């Protein structure tokens, strides 16, 4: 065998090995992908099944599709429909997201563009809040809100966020803003703009991608938040969907599985739709700052 043929054979073997390795990777990824997504696919399928079919097989396609779960689940066993609970979730989320965006932008602007007394101390406090387990402040916060007369209102859910309480977002925006050049801002200032005008007309437009990430994450987390509403809200007419779902587990007859599954699908639908519509911002936001979850 001459050298040329030997080398060719070697190269062919190496190529085959590469192919094999690559195939193994694909098979592995598909398998993991299936495990990741099948529970969700099954959830959606099962929500259209009859109750007797749900635990009858592992397939996700319903044999006799029915909207029974949705119709009865929507009614709930309370005087309200799920529409009411979605509205409540919306009422909690909207002010919270707006308050978060504004207060965190102000804080990030201060940290990234100004020098002031105790700046280092305050920035360390951002990191400290980031690492501080909520569990240790929860009880006094509850007592505080009780003394304010805020229990069973949305205020305990809104106000801490509107005062930049979600340190993660402050941190993320500071990192983002520091990476942006400040030439434009200086030019604006030379032209006579004050710092607030500079913030509104120069900084906020540049921050927009990061701000969208902040709003989206806050939306998701608030939509999924359970413990906050559980502690602070006591009347059913103020329940967001997360609490309403828990309530329907507790009050629905044990065998009416499809109602609960149907409402589960509805409660995760907004988050999924927003995620698929704007996933770029999630992936970028998470890669930029690192995130919990």
Nearer to another protein, 91 or 286 (CB): 286
DSSP H helical ranges for the chain: 3-46, 51-54, 68-75, 82-113, 119-131, 138-148, 155-162, 167-178, 183-190, 195-198, 204-224, 227-232, 241-251, 257-277, 279-289
Nearer to another protein, 42 or 87 (CB): 42
Nearest distance from C-beta of residue 248 to another protein, angstroms: 9
Cβ-in-10-Å burial (0-12, 13-18, 19+) of 42 comes to: middle
Nearest distance from C-beta of residue 134 to another protein, angstroms: 7
CB-CB contact of 85 with 229 (8 Å): no
Residue 87's CB is within 10 A of a number of other CB atoms, namely 14
Tokens (6 digits) for 7: 């080398």
Nearest distance from C-beta of residue 177 to another protein, angstroms: 12
Nearer to another protein, 6 or 38 (CB): 38
Give how far Cα 279 sits from Cα of 40, 217, 259, 272, Å: 18, 11, 30, 10
Nearer to another protein, 84 or 110 (CB): 110
Give DSSP secondary structure letters for 151-212. Answer: TTSSHHHHHHHHTT--HHHHHHHHHHHHTS--HHHHHHHHTT--HHHHIIIIIHHHHHHHHH
First and final CA of the chain: distance in angstroms? 59
Nearest distance from C-beta of residue 121 to another protein, angstroms: 10
Nearer to another protein, 116 or 235 (CB): 116
Nearest distance from C-beta of residue 265 to another protein, angstroms: 7
Nearest distance from C-beta of residue 94 to another protein, angstroms: 18
Nearer to another protein, 84 or 174 (CB): 174
């Amino acid at each position: 065998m001459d050298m040329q043929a030997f080398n060719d054979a070697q190269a062919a073997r190496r190529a085959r090995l590469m192919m094999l390795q690559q195939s193994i990777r694909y098979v592995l990824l598909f398998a993991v992908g299936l495990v990741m997504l099948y529970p969700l696919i099954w959830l959606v399928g099962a929500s259209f099944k009859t109750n007797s079919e749900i635990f009858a097989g592992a397939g996700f396609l319903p044999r006799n599709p029915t909207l029974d779960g949705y119709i009865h689940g929507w009614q709930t066993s309370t005087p309200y429909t799920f529409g009411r609970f979605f509205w409540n979730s919306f009422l909690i989320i909207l002010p919270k997201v707006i308050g978060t965006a504004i207060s965190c932008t102000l804080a990030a602007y201060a940290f990234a563009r100004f020098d002031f007394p105790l700046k280092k101390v305050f920035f360390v406090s951002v990191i400290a809040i980031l690492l501080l387990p909520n569990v240790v402040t929860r009880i006094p916060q509850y007592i505080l809100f009780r003394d304010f007369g805020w229990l069973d209102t949305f205020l305990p859910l809104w106000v801490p966020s509107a005062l930049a309480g979600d340190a993660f977002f402050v941190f993320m925006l500071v990192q983002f803003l520091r990476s942006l050049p400040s030439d434009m801002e200086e030019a604006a200032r030379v032209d006579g703009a004050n710092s607030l005008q500079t913030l509104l007309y120069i900084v906020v437009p540049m921050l927009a991608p990061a701000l969208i990430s902040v709003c989206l994450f806050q939306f998701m987390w608030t939509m999924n938040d359970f413990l906050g509403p559980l502690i602070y809200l006591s009347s059913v007419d103020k329940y967001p969907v997360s609490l309403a779902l828990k309530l329907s587990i507790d009050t629905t007859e044990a065998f009416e599985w499809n109602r609960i599954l149907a409402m589960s699908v509805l409660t995760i639908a907004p988050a999924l739709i927003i995620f698929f519509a704007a996933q770029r911002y999630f992936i970028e936001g998470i890669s930029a700052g690192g995130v919990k979850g």
